[in-house]
Chain A
Amino acid sequence: MRASFGRRYMVSASHRLHADALSPEENRAVYGKCNNPHGHGHNYVVEVLVGGAVDPETGMVVNMAALDEVVRKRVLDRFDHANLNLDPLFVNQAPTTENLCRAVFELLKDAPPTGELERVRVEETENNFFECYGE
């Protein structure tokens, strides 16, 4: 039987939304407060959904401790308490939550010890979130 297992992680990070291709005025117009040169931060929630067969012996889609470990190594250690703009992933693209969401999906695509990564959701605030299914 197939089921999905979801796990939520917290990442506190700073970012500044700025596109090198735009002028300073255009950056301020597009990004508003998020273009503040000194950056600002969020408590992001990264929700990882892994789908797969329920192992008849363990009753699990994926071992949570093993999933935690790989998410910690690939995502939390990299982004938590960091400045996203300084990450190589965001040298050529703005660290919007759209781009962060896709980046996390790519980093975790082959990460689940069992099952497959179905979806990554990144909540930027309690009022907005972004989802990537890898399409």
Chain B
Amino acid sequence: MIYLTRRATFSASHYYWNPSWPEEKNHQVFGRCANRNGHGHNYTLEVTVAGEPDPVTGFVVDLKWLKAVMERDVLDAWDHRHLNLEAPEFAATETAATIPTTENLAIAAWKRLEPAVTVAGGAQLSRVRVYETPEIFAEFRGPHEQVFVRGVDYRGEA
């Protein structure tokens, strides 16, 4: 099995806000990220697919194809966009929202990419990693992995 990874970058703005919480709690938990005017990042999207190299072409998948899928299914929707306002998976109602954290971006990118990779066959989506800054990234390896639920009121001194 070979694991092939392709990188792409996109730039987007966002803010963190849970509409089911009072304003005060949003500021307490999310700090500067709760500024409702938003802020932005240069993100890096890293997509890993796993499979056997084709005996004729030597490819697990065609990198041009993977680039095109990443552009069509993720970058076209997120690049130079406001994620809270323009990406449908992060649209908030008055009481609920999927907040565009780096964690949720990794999960959402997986959901966007998984159908095309599965339909193409020959390889499976193995990992999606999203860097928010060079120092921070979140990765998602699929919904089959065990999920640990933790409370959100953990903010504080390390």
Contact = CB atoms under 8 A, between A and B. Distances in A.
A binds B: yes
A63 interface: no
A98 B8 contact: no
In this complex, the interface size class of chain B, counting residues with CB under 8 Å from chain A, is 10 to 19
B58 A95 contact: yes
Given A96-B57, A131-B3, 16 more contacts: A17-B57, A22-B56, A30-B57, A102-B53, A126-B7, A127-B7, A127-B8, A128-B5, A128-B6, A130-B4, A130-B5, A130-B60, A131-B2, A131-B5, A131-B48, A133-B1
Interface residues of A, number: 24
Nearest to A127: B7
Given A133-B1, A135-B1, A98 B60 contact: yes
Interface of A: 17, 19, 21-22, 30-32, 93-96, 98-99, 101-102, 126-133, 135
Interface in B1-38: 1-8
Contacts of B6: 127-128
B64 interface: yes
Interface of B: 1-8, 48, 53, 55-60, 62-64
Contact of A30 (B1, B5, B53, B62): B62
B7 A19 contact: no
A115 to B, nearest CB: 21
Contact of A93 (B4, B5, B48, B58): B58
Contacts of B60: 98, 130
A5 B8 CA distance: 28
A96 B7 contact: no
B45 to A, nearest CB: 11
Interface-central residue, A21, A96, A132, by most chain B CB under 10 Å: A96
18 contacts: A30-B57, A32-B64, A93-B53, A93-B55, A95-B58, A98-B2, A98-B4, A101-B2, A126-B7, A128-B5, A128-B7, A129-B4, A130-B4, A130-B5, A131-B2, A131-B4, A131-B48, A132-B3
